[in-house]
């Protein structure tokens, strides 16, 4: 395994559409996934898409930590807020309803910054893991956000392009000041 170099905003590999993976279970994909996981963990990211390591293929990895919520106590809860470490190849996203939710995002390809992004709150996604097994899940909360963020990378989209209000694009180092003045 190897820690790979991460491309930053401005590198053309982040602006193009990534290619479909012909065989998700191929040995070279397995190697790519292993390196992406090691790179994501080393960089402290919640997710990583193959174009971020200069590979224009439709592969993402992510991990969504659980959020503190009381909703889990209500029976309605068939969506996941948290996600186990997931490898998703050739993903497809379906938006389940019109509801949108705002949240702060960061990206290993846009280091040092945070931005407030509104996205569909409830999604279903499908794809394959690196053994070729199909994956199909519904997601909401941070889980839905991280999947959409990572899959955007496969279409050449970085989160600032999803922002409605660029006043909410800030440096991490100023976040505490921003929070204080917007309380």
Enzyme catalytic residues: 150
- Binding characters for Ni ion, 1-20, by CB under 5 A (x = yes): --------------------
Interface with Ni ion includes 151 (CB under 5 A)? no
Q: Which is nearer to Ni ion, 115 or 120 (CB)?
A: 115
> Whose CA is closest to 168, among 157, 182, 149?
182
Terminal-residue alpha carbon distance, the chain = 45
Query: CB 101 → Ni ion: shortest distance, Å?
Result: 18
Q: Among 29-37, 63-71, 87-95, 105-113, which window interacts with Ni ion (CB under 5 A)?
A: 105-113
Interface with Ni ion includes 107 (CB under 5 A)? yes
DSSP string computed for 42-107: HHT-SEEEGGGGT--BSEEEEEEPPPP-SGGGSTT--SBSSEEEEEEEEEEEEE-SS-EEEEEE--
Query: CB 181 → Ni ion: shortest distance, Å?
Result: 27
Q: Are 143 and 150 in contact (CB under 8 A)?
A: no
Q: Which is nearer to Ni ion, 122 or 153 (CB)?
A: 153
What stretch of H or E contains 143?
Answer: helix 141-154
Q: What's the angle, vertex CA 146, arms to CA 60 and CA 34, rounded to 5? A: 30
> Whose CA is closest to 172, among 118, 108, 100?
108
Question: What is the size of the binding site for Ni ion (CB under 5 A)?
Answer: 1
Q: Among 8-16, 23-31, 104-112, 163-171, which window interacts with Ni ion (CB under 5 A)?
A: 104-112
Query: CB 40 → Ni ion: shortest distance, Å?
Result: 10
Q: Among 14-22, 82-90, 103-111, 121-129, which window interacts with Ni ion (CB under 5 A)?
A: 103-111
Q: Which is nearer to Ni ion, 25 or 37 (CB)?
A: 37
Q: Which is nearer to Ni ion, 121 or 147 (CB)?
A: 147
DSSP category for residue 17: P
Interface with Ni ion (CB under 5 A)? 107
């Amino acid at each position: 395994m190897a820690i790979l170099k991460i491309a930053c905003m401005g590198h053309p590999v982040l602006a193009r559409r990534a290619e479909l993976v012909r065989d998700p279970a191929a040995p070279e994909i397995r190697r790519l996934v292993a390196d992406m996981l090691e790179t994501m963990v080393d960089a402290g990211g919640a997710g990583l898409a193959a174009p971020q390591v200069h590979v224009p293929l439709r592969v993402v990895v992510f991990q969504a930590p659980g959020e503190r919520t009381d909703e889990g106590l209500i029976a309605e809860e068939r969506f996941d807020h948290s996600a186990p470490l997931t490898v998703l190849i050739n993903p497809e996203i379906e938006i389940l309803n019109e509801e949108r939710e705002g949240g702060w995002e960061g990206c290993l390809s846009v280091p040092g910054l945070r931005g407030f992004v509104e996205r569909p709150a409830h999604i279903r996604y499908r794809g394959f893991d690196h053994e070729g097994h199909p994956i199909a899940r519904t997601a909401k909360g941070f889980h839905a956000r991280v999947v959409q963020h990572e899959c955007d990378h496969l279409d050449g989209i970085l989160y600032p392009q999803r922002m409605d209000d660029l006043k909410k694009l800030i440096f991490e180092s100023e976040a505490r000041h921003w929070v204080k003045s917007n309380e």
